[in-house]
Amino acid sequence: MVRTYRNPEFPYTPPPELEGGPGRCPVAIVGAGPSGLTAAIDLARHGVASVVLDDNNTVSIGSRAICFAKRTLEILDRLGCGEAMVNKGVTWQLGKVFFHDREVYRFNLLPEEGHRMPAFINLQQYYAEEYLVRRAQAFPEQIDLRWKNRITGIDSRPDGTRLTVDTPDGDYALDCDYVLAADGANSGIRDMLGLECSGQVFNDRFLIADVVMKAEFPTERWFWFDPPFHPGQSVLLHKQPDDVWRIDFQLGPDADPDEEKKEENIRPRVQAMLGDDVDFQLEWASVYTFRCRKMDSFIYNRVLFIGDASAQVSPFGARGANGGIQGVENLCWKLGRVIHGEAPEELLASYDAERQHGAAENIGHSTRATDFITPKTPTIRAFRDAALQLSEHYPFARALVNSGRLSRPCVYDGSPLNTGDSDAFPSLLRPGSPPEDAPVTVHGQQTWWLHLLGDRFHLLVDGRVGVDTADGLADALRAVLDAVPEVSLRLVGPVPHALRQLPRSTIVEDPQGYLAARHDLRPGTAYLFRPDQHVAARWRELTAGRVIDAHNRALGHSLRTSQEERHAAAGA
């Protein structure tokens, strides 16, 4: 086997608690995988210091995630490492589906222009983690990264947690206001607290063969059902950086993993697929099965479960790390607000509500894809093959074909943080939705809408109103800015004079019209965005009262009220 990547070794430093007795920290993050590292950086940006504890001293070993989705890249861009990952990664947006020896159809995941981030990149998980570590190291005051620190015990109470940490130099105790459990699919924290993660276990085995070769294939996702070179099973091909190609072979439930991992057994499979004349070297081989499952609650006292520790999916659709990072973004602004005393602790319950919804959606897609790829009975297989056959000529059948619906961010429909929508809007960008990017200009300089949103509350207002309504709108906006100091304004211009002098406001031009089209903007239309850039509320006609109420709601104040009401009712 060849190696194109050498795992870095991060230094272990004996923690001060080994000498000085139990330590204290506002947040401990257990696990420096994609979820834990992203959380540490996001929390640092929200002014929250954390101690990150990992039992290892390097990034992910071997081949795991490779596909990172647009929304994840937007989040990582906000955190300061998305661009580097895109530059290193292999960008793609086209997928092709083959049945037997023929292409039956293709799909484009981002057919339109005007987005900063691509539909997907392929980047080995170890590179992604390395970029995250480097980024985390840029916050030495806020992020205390502790390698070779393994959690061996946890004592969780309603008001805090004590962790027992094992190091090469002995044990120490760490008292934390909050713990983020990011310790992966087999979370020890979950087990030590006696909590369950329930769902479905799939028995089919899959072989990952990462091969190094110079090949002419385009940078697209190719998925074969029942191809002549691997009859009865499926195969997936992806290009990664450094001329590494990921090939996933479905093996069926009875395959012997030890045999399948042997190079002499992998070579003929790969050669049958690529042709005898293609020269390649094997970089990595592993055999995996998977589970689709989640915890019933992601919160236990002040322990918050994130990433694979909270929920797991099959690799089809690339929803694991992508879903995990979207969950992290959901949590961090809320935790930051709660720790700074700017929101009630009940706001954290909305992390559970919203991400349970997200996890269930991811698990649903992932399970359906797995069922389609691995039909369990001859009858189901016959239906599956009929759908594949029809999909070549009939677009309706393509909706039935499922080679993995690729990761999309969840819309938090029904979230207690949303303010009811009016029916004067199309459903795109309804409250709870993730944002849509667009190229815009500010003072003649080109920038991106998501850069202007950042990680604070923002009010987008189409300020291209007539002079007759401008004064009224300006008064309402002034009242909002006075009442809610953390909200900033993004006014789509050109705006009339009355709107030019407002504090905390930026006038944004939309020369190509992408922002207006994606938000269905009309003069006076307004959107309130949360710090995770999701839509909290929108109106055709804004009033100060509506915006202030929506902001209060998005901060979880209505959750506290309803809890107080419940307690009062229980007391009565």
In this structure, the number of other CB atoms found within 10 A of the CB of residue 506 comes to 15
346 or 354: CB nearest ligand FAD? 354
Tell me the helices (H) and strands (E) count for the chain, helix number first. 17, 26
What mask, x for binding ligand FAD by CB under 6 A, covers residues 124 to 143? -x------------------
- Would you count residue 324 as binding ligand FAD (CB under 6 A)? yes
- Would you count residue 406 as binding ligand FAD (CB under 6 A)? no
- Would you count residue 270 as binding ligand FAD (CB under 6 A)? no
Q: Residue 447: what are its φ and ψ, rounded to 5°?
A: -150, -170
43 or 388: CB nearest ligand FAD? 43
Residue 62 to residue 77: CA distance in whole angstroms: 25
- Would you count residue 104 as binding ligand FAD (CB under 6 A)? no
Give the nearest distance from C-beta 196 to ligand FAD in angstroms: 18
**Sole window of 4-12, 50-58, 85-93, 354-362 interacting with ligand FAD (rule: CB under 6 A):** 50-58
Cα 191 from chain centroid (whole Å): 24
Residues in the chain: 572
Residue 40 to residue 52: CA distance in whole angstroms: 7
- Would you count residue 292 as binding ligand FAD (CB under 6 A)? no
For residue 534, give the 3-state DSSP assignment. coil
**Sole window of 302-310, 416-424, 461-469, 529-537 interacting with ligand FAD (rule: CB under 6 A):** 302-310
366 or 419: CB nearest ligand FAD? 366
310 or 525: CB nearest ligand FAD? 310
- Residues numbered 331 to 370 that lie near ligand FAD (CB under 6 A) are none
Tell me, what DSSP letter sits at residue 4? S
The answer to whether 252 and 205 have CB atoms below 8 angstroms apart is yes
- Return all residues near 219 (Cβ < 8 A) that are at least 6 apart: 90, 91, 92, 122, 239
Near ligand FAD by CB under 6 A: residue from 74, 77, 226, 308: 308
What mask, x for binding ligand FAD by CB under 6 A, covers residues 185 to 214? ---x-------------------x------
**Sole window of 130-138, 269-277, 317-325, 458-466 interacting with ligand FAD (rule: CB under 6 A):** 317-325
At 512, list the tokens.
Answer: 């190509």
Residue 433 to residue 18: CA distance in whole angstroms: 46
**Sole window of 73-81, 181-189, 221-229, 418-426 interacting with ligand FAD (rule: CB under 6 A):** 181-189
The angle subtended at Cα 261 by Cα 126 and Cα 316, nearest 5°, is: 55
Burial class (CB in 10 A: 0-12, 13-18, 19+), 396: exposed
Give the nearest distance from C-beta 192 to ligand FAD in angstroms: 9
At 358, list the tokens.
Answer: 């997200």
Judged by CB under 6 A, the number of residues near ligand FAD is 33
Residue 268 to residue 550: CA distance in whole angstroms: 61
75 or 542: CB nearest ligand FAD? 75
| Residue whose C-alpha is closest to residue 181's, from 160, 201, 151 | 151
Near ligand FAD by CB under 6 A: residue from 15, 28, 29, 31: 31
Q: List interacting residues with ligand FAD (CB under 6 A).
A: 30-36, 53-56, 64-67, 125, 150-151, 182-184, 188, 208, 288, 307-309, 315, 318, 320-322, 324
